[in-house]
């Protein structure tokens, strides 16, 4: 059972299990439960919707699973790892809109490392920045090195990486 499901179950149990507005849910997580800030609260709702654990019914958001069937630890609060994941969460609607835009290859590398390893993007950025300072290379190349170190296949991004670096060099 995912921590997302546990958090949502806890939230809706404490709110009476009925549909709530997004604003009410965010208020409950931020001020009533003191779990986290507005950014993470919004990400929790977005993740619930993306994973079909929540559904919209007009302006209300309702659980799309049996909240009573979820085993919730006594005095549950979200783990630091879960909060960190929420901070770096990108809603599927945002990802879909980005598909129509040209995404820089470095961002693709960063997203792929994060998705395949489950490591927060901020942690990956720290690792890349440390290596970049030490190696004195283009950030895209360092991103490829870090991806390879984590055992991630990035062969489809090598030519795109080369093209972006060469285009920058011509400017």
Q: What is the DSSP string of 28-94?
A: IIIIIS----HHHHHHHHHHHHHTTSEEEETTEEEESS-GGGS---TT----HHHHHHHHT---HHH
Q: Is the pLDDT of residue 100 over 70?
A: no
pTM score? 0.54
pLDDT digits (tens, 9 = 90+) for 10-41: 999 887 767 788 888 889 899 999 998 888 99
Q: Is the C-alpha dihedral spanning 154, 150, 106, 96 positive or negative?
A: positive
Alpha-carbon span 120 to 133, nearest angstrom: 20
pLDDT-based confidence at residue 97 (cuts at 50, 70, 90): very low
pLDDT digits (tens, 9 = 90+) for 35-93: 988 889 999 999 999 888 999 888 889 998 899 999 999 999 999 999 888 888 888 75
Alpha-carbon span 139 to 128, nearest angstrom: 7
The predicted pLDDT at position 159 comes to 92
Mean pLDDT of the residues in the chain = 86
| Structure tokens given for 43 | 């990400």
The predicted pLDDT at position 148 comes to 94
pLDDT-based confidence at residue 101 (cuts at 50, 70, 90): low
| Structure tokens given for 48 | 């619930």
Alpha-carbon span 62 to 17, nearest angstrom: 8
Residue 92 half-sphere exposure toward CB, CA atoms < 13 A: 8
Q: Are the CB atoms for 15 and 25 separated by under 8 Å? A: yes
Query: Which residues are 53's β-sheet partners?
Result: none
The predicted pLDDT at position 1 comes to 54
The closest of 91, 2, 18 to 49, measured between CA atoms, is 91
pLDDT digits (tens, 9 = 90+) for 107-158: 899 988 988 888 888 889 999 999 999 999 999 999 999 999 999 988 899 9
């Amino acid at each position: 059972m995912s921590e997302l499901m546990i958090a949502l179950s806890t939230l809706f149990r404490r709110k009476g299990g009925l549909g709530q507005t997004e604003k009410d849910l965010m208020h409950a997580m931020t001020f009533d439960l003191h779990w986290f800030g507005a950014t993470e609260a919004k990400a929790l709702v977005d993740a619930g919707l993306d994973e079909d654990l929540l559904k919209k019914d007009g302006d209300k958001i309702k659980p799309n699973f049996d909240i009573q069937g979820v085993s919730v630890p006594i005095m549950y609060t979200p783990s630091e790892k879960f909060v960190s994941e929420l901070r770096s969460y990108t809603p599927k609607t945002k990802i879909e809109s980005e598909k129509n835009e040209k995404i820089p290859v470095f961002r693709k590398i960063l997203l792929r490392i994060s998705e395949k390893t489950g490591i927060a993007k901020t942690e990956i950025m720290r690792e890349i920045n440390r290596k970049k300072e030490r190696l004195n290379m283009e950030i895209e190349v360092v991103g490829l090195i870090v991806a390879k170190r984590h055992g991630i296949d990035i062969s489809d991004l090598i030519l795109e990486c080369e093209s972006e670096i060469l285009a920058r060099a011509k400017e």
